[in-house]
Amino acid sequence: MKEVRLRFAPSPTGYLHIGGLRTALYNYLYAMQQKGSFLLRIEDTDRSRFVEGAIENLIHELHWAGVENNEGVTLTEDEVSEIGNCAPYIQSERVKEGIYDEYIDQLLKSGDAYYCFCSKERIDAVKDQQRADGKMPKYDGLCRGISLEDARKRVAEGEEHVIRLKLPANKDVVFEDVIKGKITINTDDMDDQVLIKSDGFPTYHFAVVVDDHLMNITHVVRGDEWISSTPKHILIYQAFGWDIPKYIHLPTVLNKSGKKLSKRNDDVSVEDFREKGYLPEALINYLALVGWSPKTNDEILSMEELIEQFTFDRVQKSGAVFDVDKLDWVNSHYIKKLGIKEFSEKVKPYLVNAGFIDGDISEDKLQFIAKTFQDSLSKLSDIVPQSRFLFEDMEMEEDGKKLMDDNAKVLRDAFVEELNGIDEVDEEFSKGVMKKIQKKTGIKGKNLFMPVRAMISGNLHGPELANIIEILGKDKLLERLKKLD
Ligand code: GLU
């Protein structure tokens, strides 16, 4: 049986989009399930969109998420490197090696492609006229009639040109998308696609077909914004007489308002999610469910379970909603499951960056602080707002202020007295002090706990009171208690 080979083929335009990660993930899941190959190819033929460092960034984010390719571009000690028999896997490198030259030559000779010398101004004018006439704007095919011999002469003389695909007239191009079903587009509704640009670089459309063929790709899994390009690709395959891969177009990732995720309104880059403290296992688990559901309706799935259960026939046809609240829920599940050592190491940078703790804090202390918040975080960075009251001067909230009556003063005095009787707050003290205050004052229950909590944390809600007392320590507690006069 033929080896199943899938690829993720991003353009290095700066960052990995969360929808791109989902595409990569579905490719990966299927390839791993079928014991096939998952390769990473970089499509950088649009030089105007190239961003320095973007390739490294893409690979870094994919690998952070655990979506590891076994072929193509990878990182070795932070440097881009390549593995596999189809190298190079970066299209600009393939251009340098002249890989596309022989294939375009083949299409020119067979008459499936032609040189076009029309200026941009002329084409714009043609399209303006077509629009005015209520027609679909497209190239009018003026250069189709130039013989290859004449065209080559003009090219040799240095005349500026592109190379276009010569579409057959009025032909239905039909393909069966694995998710969307049968799709038919007529060539009259298509344009003579540019295959080679005036800078000599192939367009995406030409390079993607040549490369998918040369890399023996069996399944093309990509976002559904590419559906309208697929007939062009199929015509190129047909012109070469090559086998056409299976096409699988994934539903667009939408935000909760049903709009395409946009940088302006939403977090869109994987980096944003990583930096906010989403765990890779959680992000992957949730992303898998954006547009797909397992038969069992389970919501918590490891990568191994996803590989086992993933099928394209359970991918929905349209609009998949990315719900950050749901992601938060999944993430908090994974955060709660972390061992305390691992968890405290993960939250440490957030606490250090906020200036709450020193980098050389003892492991015990760090773990105690971390544990105090572990069950209440949706993402690691939440520890900063949630623990701020412990490390910075706090403002008392209005609800708390209302409780600052004579009763509170009695509690305050009792608490201060207890603190004056010790050198340092330890576990025994922090766990026992409320009971002592209760005995001393006769105040109990809510009337005891709420005012004390408000006095030392500024808030009526939050983590365990004993933990707050232990983390604050004697001096800070006294300072806060004495604020009440
Ligand atoms: N380079 C295209 C992109 O940036 C890949 C589309 C495809 O997978 O064919 O999304």
**166 in active site:** no
The whole-angstrom separation of Cα 455 and Cα 457 is: 6
**278 vs 118: CA distance, rounded Å:** 51
Cα(9) to centroid of ligand 1, in Å? Answer: 5
Q: Does 165 sit in the ligand 1 pocket, CB within 6 Å?
A: no
What distance in Å separates the CA atoms of residue 247 and residue 255, rounded to the nearest whole number? 25
In sequence order, which residues have a C-beta less than 8 Å from that of residue 58 and are 6 or more positions away? 10, 12, 15, 16, 42
Say which residues have a Cβ less than 8 Å from residue 223's Cβ, sequence separation at least 6: 19, 20, 23, 249, 250, 252
Catalytic residue among 153, 259, 263, 444: 263
Contact 16, 291 (CB under 8 A): no
Determine if ligand 1 sits within 6 Å of the CB of residue 24: no
Half-sphere exposure of residue 124: CA atoms within 13 angstroms, side-chain side: 3
* Angle at alpha carbon of residue 353, lines to 349 and 355, rounded to 5°: 120
Q: What's the CA-to-centroid distance between 416 and ligand 1, angstroms?
A: 66
Residue 230 CA, ligand 1 centroid: distance in Å: 11
Contact between 440 and 433 (Cβ < 8 Å):
no
3-state secondary structure of 101: helix
pTM of the predicted model as reported, rounded to 2 decimal places:
0.95
pLDDT at 192: 97
DSSP secondary structure letters along 228-245: GGHHHHHHHHHHHTPPPP
Q: Are strands 79-83 and 113-116 parallel, antiparallel or unpaired?
A: unpaired
Distance between start and end Cα atoms, the chain: 83
Q: Yes or no: say if 76 and 174 are a contact pair by the CB < 8 Å rule.
A: no
pLDDT, residue 101, reads 97
In the prediction, which pLDDT does 264 show?
85
Residue carrying structure tokens 């709660």: 336
CA pair distance 370, 354, nearest whole angstrom: 14
Q: Give me the sheet containing 113-116, strands edge to edge.
A: 113-116, 162-165, 194-196
Q: Which of 50, 63, 15, 58 is nearest to 263 (CA)?
A: 15
Q: Which of 5, 8, 11, 39 to mutate to test the pocket of ligand 1 (most atoms within 8 A of CB)?
A: 11
Picking from 234, 334, 336, 237, the residue whose alpha carbon sits closest to that of residue 281 is: 334
State the residue for tokens 């040799």.
156
Predicted local distance difference test score (pLDDT) of residue 262:
85
CA of 139 to the centre of ligand 1 (A): 24
Q: Does the beta carbon of 10 lie inside 6 Å of ligand 1?
A: yes
| Locus of tokens 């990568």 | 303
Pairing of strands 71-76, 37-40: parallel
**Ligand 1 atom showing the smallest separation from residue 212 Cα:** 9
Pocket probe mutation, ligand 1, options 226, 229, 268, max atoms within 8 Å of Cβ: 226
Residue 49 CA to ligand 1 center (angstroms) comes to 14
pLDDT at 394: 86
Mutate to test the pocket of ligand 1, among 177, 208, 221 (most ligand atoms within 8 A of CB): 208
Cα-to-centroid distance, 321 and ligand 1 (Å): 21
pLDDT of residue 482: 94
Closest CA to 82 of 69, 95, 92: 69
The answer to whether the CB of 9 is under 6 A from ligand 1 is yes
DSSP 149-172: HHHHHHHHTT---EEEE-PPTT-E
Per-10-residue mean pLDDT of the chain, 485 residues long, equals 94 94 98 98 88 93 98 95 97 97 98 98 97 96 97 98 97 97 96 96 97 98 96 98 98 93 89 97 98 94 98 94 97 98 98 98 98 98 97 92 94 97 97 97 96 96 97 97 88
pLDDT at 2: 87
What residue type is assigned to position 187 of the chain?
Answer: T
Task: Give the residue, by CA position, lying nearest to ligand 1 atom 3.
Answer: 10
